[in-house]
Amino acid sequence: MITDFLFYLFAGGATLGGLLMVTRRNPVSAVMFLIATLFCASGMFVLLGAHYVAAINVILYAGAIMVLFLFVIMLLNLGHADWRDLRTPFGGLVGGAVAVAFLGLLARDLIGDVAPLAGSGRGAVMSVTAVEQGPIEAIARPLFQEYVVVLEATGLLLLVAIVGTIFLARRRSA
């Protein structure tokens, strides 16, 4: 029951974050809402038992790529930070709800009801595969065999974004 509530909470947060990201005029605040959306998506991945995908989402996308986006925005001088975009009328309510949810989870863990959030047995399958093949091979084999097209498309998309940024920065400075 708590997992359903948390899943819907994260799904609503991701939807609201995406909507607020698209409606912001300031690119810096739009990136901040995109980061919030990525954190909510990571929360949903954790609840579904995909801990590796959640960690990669936070480390790679919410961390490294969002820093790259902010760097590009500041390099191109697209706008100054306008914190009025981030201070929405219900911002305190959302922050309070998130704080209460985290405190509730902390209290539940301290009381002793530490049942796993995801009821699927996928973690056990992954640990057996990791023991048989080794953890790096268990992750790398599907990545480079089953998902190679997605991996290459992501790399190509990032390459196009970097080349476009360099082109825009040179054109503006010239």
Write the CATH number for 79.
Answer: 1.20.120.1200
Determine the Cα–Cα distance for residues 137 and 10; give it in Å rounded to an integer. 31
Q: Is the pLDDT of residue 84 over 60?
A: no
Output b/e per residue, 86-115; b: 16+ Cβ within 10 A: beeeeeeeeeeeeeebeeeeeeeeeeeeee
Q: Residue 46: what pLDDT?
A: 87
Number of structural domains (the chain) is 2
Pair 93, 107 in one domain: yes
pLDDT digit string, tens, across residues 15-67: 998 898 888 878 878 888 888 898 999 989 888 888 888 888 888 887 788 77
Q: What is the mean pLDDT of the chain?
A: 76
Residue 114 pLDDT greater than 50, yes or no: no
pLDDT at 162: 79
Which structural domain range is residue 31 located in?
Answer: 1-118
